[in-house]
Chain A
């Protein structure tokens, strides 16, 4: 069944039709339209005429030793990229989606992980007292104990000695 087609729709299909890109179901109504519509037929003929301008040009001969030369350079470590510009992604970046970026990101991630590990170690040990600081100073411990015993004995003999009595104005506080 051939459907009726508008010129506007037909014009969109003319180029794909000439390029043999339409299915038969798409092409059949267009063919019918072109038979009936002089304007669109003229458009199709003009588009077809354009093909005559795309003629193959003279071949550029590949030098006989080209492949061998390229293979030698490649093995020698020449990686190409002479025409890459700073402002535009290189061919490989475009094609492979980050062939150069990925190693850089991985290296950066590894470096960042190492730094974080070292920082965490530093933080962990910074909060802890060193082993030396943990040792008690027992050099004059026995003397201090003797002094303390003596104070206890003196206080037992005179309970008021060594006690700091409240000042007078503290007593006045009871008048308020």
Chain B
């Protein structure tokens, strides 16, 4: 049933893409309306400024429209759009000097094995007194300090609930790399959380 629904969505998207390529601007507007909320949701994990979020999503959609002919239908339209948006976010972060981008795996954690200090430090659940928004703010601040490759997999897994295979497809990496990055990303997240908020994050 779910597969059938996904297939229907994919066919509808491809129809809208075809109509857009024939010059139907209304069809493109429908595509934007379909996915704008999800794209805003993705981008807000990288910047909390609503104006910047809107600018980034808009830029990604404009790029998608101008390069629609290169959409080869090997993946779903949303997957294609998601990648463009993610790359636009990374361009934005780099341009604004806010991204601690690392081209390679974090060397400090490449060899970290389970049981090593980096992975063994436990983090407590946030205290009950913390408001939900405070937790979100603390988490966002810690995420912003992570290397981009770790932040991205954490966002995709923890907030967007993507399966490992989806993450692998979206990032063009193997499932083994997804597992490895998630492992290291969580370890680094714990470490940063304890450093930044020792009074609320340290395990009992």
Binding site for B on A (CB under 8 A): 7-8, 11-12, 14-16, 19, 21, 42-43, 46-47, 49-60, 62-63, 66-75, 78-85, 88, 90-92, 94-96, 99
Contacts and interface: CB of A to CB of B under 8 A. Distances in A.
A138 B179 CA distance: 92
Given A43-B120, A46-B123, A63-B54, A94 B87 contact: yes
A62 B37 contact: yes
Interface residues of B, number: 74
Contact of A81 (B59, B115, B179): B59
Name the residue in A8, A63, A71, A99 with the highest tally of chain B Cβ atoms < 10 Å from its Cβ: A71
Contacts of B120: 43
Contacts of A78: 62
Contacts of B40: 59-60, 62
A53 B126 contact: yes
A57 B87 contact: no
The 8 closest A-B CB pairs, nearest first, are A11-B114, A91-B87, A80-B62, A79-B66, A54-B158, A74-B65, A46-B122, A80-B63
B183 A79 contact: no
Nearest to B155: A54
A19 B193 CA distance: 21
Given A80-B63, A82-B55, A71 B25 contact: yes
Given A8-B115, A16-B179, A70 B61 contact: yes
B67 interface: yes
Contacts of A81: 59, 62-63
Contacts of B91: 83-85, 88, 90-91
Nearest to A10: B114
A49 B135 contact: no
A55 B70 CA distance: 36
Contact of A21 (B83, B113, B159, B163): B163
A7 to B, nearest CB: 7
Contacts of A8: 113-115
A71 B114 CA distance: 49
12 contacts: A14-B114, A46-B122, A53-B125, A60-B53, A67-B29, A69-B58, A70-B58, A71-B26, A92-B63, A92-B67, A92-B70, A92-B87
A60 B70 contact: no
B60 A19 contact: no
Given A60-B44, A60-B53, A11 B115 contact: yes
Contacts of A12: 114, 183
Interface string B106-119: 00000001110001
Contacts of A72: 25
A106 B202 CA distance: 59
